[in-house]
């Protein structure tokens, strides 16, 4: 049975502008895919359909988070006064070790998935930990919630504490299990070497082979800060740039690849990313909090790179991708302030990055064009809408001022998604 929803519909087919349908209709087929949008039922061929009417609310594509560490959820918003290394040693690694316990994992991961839901994120590209079993727990929780995710068991076997290291063979075995698990189409595993300094060449090679063998996507960190880049150069002296170090192991676009940060990616690396179709997960709050720098996103877009947004909990402190849009614009305004030849990101460009651009990593996701999976949020902004605002102003105000309270309905691939349960 196809479904039809009525509301003020806003989305970005192109990055340069919004499509706006005042009192529009959107029709969705049995498979959860968009049939079309229109301002009348006739042009949708849906005159007889039952219409769910959302009245004066806004209907927009749901959010996609391209980079987030689920097991760092407990550490969200703490220890922000620490520098990177003590932060990793005292907070991040000890916390990740706890995920050897699947009970702890289930308790914390349930909150994590619930809070992604709260903030309207229906698809996420997630780092778990080295632990196969608790990674499986997280995948199950996404499945139960009906939300989409690519979940990575983390590969790491050097420069990390003893409790957070795994033999290459173990890692391969774990990944093969996850890859062979029967999974509904919305949840899959993703090859996730933590980053070059955490993985021996053997582990990186095994990761690349797994990606190709099981046709799995790849995620990791790239050029987040300058010390890290120098360290990678030391560890992989034959590589011409950080990205090339991944490339040599088959981890840079041989299968769909997303790299977080890219704050300092330069000419050659950008060229390679372009050639390989490597996607950028821009994580502006994290780049501020960890004092990494300000990624040159305007430059990336000009170069034709694919860019999405990531919350990067717990380097980032905020799960809301709407908040990431605000920060992304602000970062671009600092580049613009220094060089007026780099126009700052517009709202439509940033919305497009968070929806259609990021969504492309999960399939046909993030737009309301025909054939797209219907991932959507219904926004009741009546408490923010106290004067004669246009629909675009209402959306902008929601992005800048709103929070989870205004999201009244969430859809993923055509299904209404209800609040996932947590363990109190």
Residues that bind a second copy (CB under 8 A): 74, 76-81, 108, 111, 285, 288-294, 317-318, 326, 329-330, 333-334, 336-337, 344, 346-347, 384, 386-387, 389, 393, 396-397, 399-401, 403
Q: Which is nearer to a second copy, 31 or 408 (CB)?
A: 408
Q: How far is the CB of 346 from a second copy (least distance, A)?
A: 5
Q: How far is the CB of 74 from a second copy (least distance, A)?
A: 5
Dist CA 368 CA 28 (whole Å): 10
Angle (deg, nearest 10), helices 102-118 and 132-145 = 40
Q: How far is the CB of 318 from a second copy (least distance, A)?
A: 7
Q: How far is the CB of 335 from a second copy (least distance, A)?
A: 9
The alpha carbon of residue 265 and the mean position of all alpha carbons in its chain are separated, in whole angstroms, by 19
Q: How far is the CB of 372 from a second copy (least distance, A)?
A: 26
Q: How far is the CB of 325 from a second copy (least distance, A)?
A: 10
Q: How far is the CB of 293 from a second copy (least distance, A)?
A: 5
Tell me which long-range contacts 237-245 makes (C-beta under 8 A, separation of at least 24): 240/268, 241/266, 241/268, 241/269, 241/272, 242/196, 242/269, 243/269, 243/272, 243/273, 243/278, 244/268, 244/269, 244/272, 245/196
Q: How far is the CB of 125 from a second copy (least distance, A)?
A: 22
Strands (E), 215-373: 218-222, 257-261, 279-282, 307-309
Q: Which is nearer to a second copy, 186 or 342 (CB)?
A: 342
Q: Which is nearer to a second copy, 13 or 397 (CB)?
A: 397
Q: How far is the CB of 349 from a second copy (least distance, A)?
A: 10
Dist CA 374 CA 394 (whole Å): 22
Cβ atoms within 10 Å of 301's Cβ, excluding its own: 19
Dist CA 223 CA 295 (whole Å): 10
CA atoms within 13 A on the CB side of 136: 16
Question: Rounded to the nearest 5 degrees, what angle is found at the Cα of 320, between the Cα atoms of 311 and 329?
Answer: 75
Q: Which is nearer to a second copy, 78 or 416 (CB)?
A: 78
Q: Which is nearer to a second copy, 23 or 330 (CB)?
A: 330
Q: Which is nearer to a second copy, 93 or 389 (CB)?
A: 389
Q: Which is nearer to a second copy, 14 or 403 (CB)?
A: 403
Dist CA 342 CA 350 (whole Å): 15
Q: Which is nearer to a second copy, 253 or 402 (CB)?
A: 402
Q: Which is nearer to a second copy, 17 or 168 (CB)?
A: 17
Beta bridge partners, 59, equal 9, 378
Dist CA 46 CA 30 (whole Å): 14
CA max distance for the chain: 66
């Amino acid at each position: 049975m196809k479904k039809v929803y009525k509301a003020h519909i806003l989305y970005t087919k192109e990055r340069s502008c919004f499509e706006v349908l005042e009192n529009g209709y959107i029709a969705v087929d049995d498979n959860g895919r968009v049939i079309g949008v229109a301002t009348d039922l006739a042009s949708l061929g849906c005159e007889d359909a039952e219409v769910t009417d959302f009245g004066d609310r806004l209907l927009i594509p749901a959010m996609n988070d391209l980079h987030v560490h689920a097991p760092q959820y407990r550490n969200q918003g703490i220890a922000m006064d620490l520098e990177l290394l003590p932060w990793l040693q005292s907070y991040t690694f000890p916390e990740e070790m706890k995920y050897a316990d699947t009970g702890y994992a289930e308790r914390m991961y349930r909150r994590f998935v619930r809070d992604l839901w709260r903030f309207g994120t229906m698809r996420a590209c997630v780092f778990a930990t080295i632990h196969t079993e608790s990674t499986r727990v997280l995948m199950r929780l996404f499945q139960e919630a009906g939300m989409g995710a690519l979940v990575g068991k983390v590969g790491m076997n050097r420069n990390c504490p003893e409790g957070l290291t795994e033999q290459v063979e173990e890692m391969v075995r774990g990944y093969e299990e996850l890859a062979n698990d029967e999974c509904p189409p919305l949840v899959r595993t993703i090859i996730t070497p933590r980053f070059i300094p955490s993985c021996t060449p053997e582990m990186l090679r095994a990761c690349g082979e797994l990606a190709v063998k099981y046709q799995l996507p790849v995620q990791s960190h790239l050029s987040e800060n300058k010390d890290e880049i120098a360290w990678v150069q030391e560890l992989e002296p034959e590589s011409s740039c950080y990205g090339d170090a991944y490339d040599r192991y088959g981890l840079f676009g041989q299968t769909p690849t997303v790299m977080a940060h890219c704050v300092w990616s330069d000419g050659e690396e950008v060229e390679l990313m372009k050639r390989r179709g490597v996607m950028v997960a821009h994580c502006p709050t994290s780049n501020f909090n960890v004092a990494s720098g300000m990624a040159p996103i305007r430059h990336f877009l000009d170069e034709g790179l694919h860019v999405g947004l990531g919350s990067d909990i717990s380097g980032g402190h905020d799960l809301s991708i709407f908040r990431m849009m605000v920060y992304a614009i602000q970062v671009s305004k600092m580049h613009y302030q220094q060089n007026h030849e780099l126009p700052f990101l517009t709202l439509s460009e940033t919305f497009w990055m968070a929806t259609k651009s990021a969504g492309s990593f999960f399939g046909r996701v993030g737009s309301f064009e025909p054939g797209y999976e219907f991932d959507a949020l219904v926004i009741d902004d009546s408490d923010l809408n106290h004067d004669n605002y246009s629909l675009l102003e209402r959306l902008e105000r929601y992005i800048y001022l709103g929070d989870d309270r205004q999201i009244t309905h969430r859809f993923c691939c055509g299904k209404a998604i209800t609040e996932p349960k947590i363990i109190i």
